[in-house]
Amino acid sequence: MTSGFDINCCGHGLQLGKVEITRVQDYYGPGFISNFMFPEVRPEMFEAHKDWLVPTFYNPESDKITSTIHSWLVRTEHHTILIDGCVGNHKERPHNERFNMRNEPWLERLARAGARPEDVDFVMCTHLHADHVGWNTRLVDGRWVPTFPNAKYIFSRKEFERWDTRRPDYVHTTAEENVFEDSILPIAEAGQMLLVEDGYTVDDLLTVESAIGHTPGHAKIRLKDQHHHALFCGDVIHHPIQLPYPEVWSRFDDDRVKALETRLAVLNECVDHNILMLPMHFAEPFVCRIKHNPERTDHPSFLPIWGP
């Protein structure tokens, strides 16, 4: 165990001052075929970095990228906070076999990480895609109910408005079919939803900041105290291939140009301030710091320094 994060969440979390962070896994394994996920990625990009990408992050035989989907459980002195809600169980996702009608012991993993659903005070979602909101709710007697009965669920207002299927200007995407109805609306109806603007802070420690592009209201969540600085960056970056090649865009980016601007800004900031980056889909060791890649001169380019 090099990173200190147990893959099944029974190890110790990462201690940053008075804050403990534990990873709670929903999925770890083969993801999409590389150029389905990243239409402009080229084999030579993986080839050039195979010494560190293969086999952990990329399988050249299947041409599939490795994907993880996890939540970050953050315990401060005062609160228990869950960042992002993975895919969830029993959700009908007719357009994604990997996400459809799952039955994973994610709640048991949460328990092994030391939290019961009723302990969670806040759920913070970087954005409202299917793989970030699933455990917001669970199916009880045929009804979707909030998984965390005592939590306030914090969503960016702009992001909520984008996915509100009741709006006349709603634009349908097949990938997000049913997501609003089974994972967002039940939270609003239960009175547990808090729609926030850029800059909203929990415990003077975790700040919601706009990081748009992947989705119209995508947020990153900054953890900062006197001595520690970390960034839960959501889907600003999906896979480590986007470090040396930040211009590699994802099929699921709503606005590629803004997504790249945001990715470059976040990566540069991580270099400049030695910030610990905690993405949602990087394989083990899951977290990294960032340095510039001096080998490439035609485009800003970065490399990971793995581990906390």
CB of 129 to Zn ion, least distance (A): 5
Q: How far is the CB of 55 from Zn ion (least distance, A)?
A: 22
CB of 21 to Zn ion, least distance (A): 19
C-beta of residue 92 within 8 angstroms of C-beta of residue 180: no
How many angstroms separate the CA atoms of 39 and 250, rounded? 7
Residues 229-261 as b or e (16 or more Cβ within 10 Å = b): bbbbbbbbbbbbbbbbbbebbbebbbbbebbbe
Chain contacts with Zn ion (rule: CB under 5 A): 131, 235
CA dihedral 258, 263, 266, 272 (to 10 degrees): -120
Between residues 76 and 163, which has the closer beta carbon with respect to Zn ion? 163
Of 72 and 293, which CB lies nearer to Zn ion in the complex structure? 72
We find the least distance from the C-beta atom of residue 215 to Zn ion, in angstroms, to be 10
**Helix (H/G/I), strand (E/B), else coil: 179:** helix
26 vs 131 by CB, closer to Zn ion? 131
Nearer residue to Zn ion within complex by CB, 176 or 284: 176
Q: CA 83, CA 81: separation in Å to the nearest integer?
A: 6
**Least Cβ distance, residue 127 to Zn ion (angstroms):** 8
Q: Could you give the CA distance from residue 81 to residue 223 in angstroms, rounded to a whole number?
A: 12
Are the beta carbons of 250 and 37 closer than 8 angstroms? yes
Phi-psi domain of 307 (left: phi exceeds 0; alpha: psi -120 through 50; beta: other): left
Q: Is 103 helix (H, G, I), strand (E, B) or coil?
A: coil
Closest CB to Zn ion among residues 205, 266: 266
Please, what is the minimum distance in Å from the beta carbon of residue 140 to Zn ion?
A: 26
Written as one letter, the residue type at 142 is G
Burial 96-128 (b: 16+ CB within 10 A, else e): beebeebebebbebbbbbbbebebbbbbbbbbb
Taking the least distance from each CB to Zn ion, the nearer of 246 and 279 is: 279
Smallest gap from Cβ 272 to Zn ion, in A, equals: 26
The count of other CB atoms within 10 Å of the CB of residue 192 is 17
Residue 200 beta carbon to Zn ion: minimum distance, rounded to whole angstroms: 21
Q: How near is the Cβ of 131 to Zn ion at its closest, in Å?
A: 4
Q: What is the Cβ-side half-sphere exposure of residue 128, based on CA atoms within 13 angstroms?
A: 30
Nearest residue (CB) to Zn ion, 16 versus 85: 85
Nearer to Zn ion by Cβ, of 14 and 237: the residue is 237
CB of 49 or CB of 127, closer to Zn ion: 127
- Report which of 49, 33, 62, 64 is spatially closest to residue 241, judged by C-alpha positions: 49
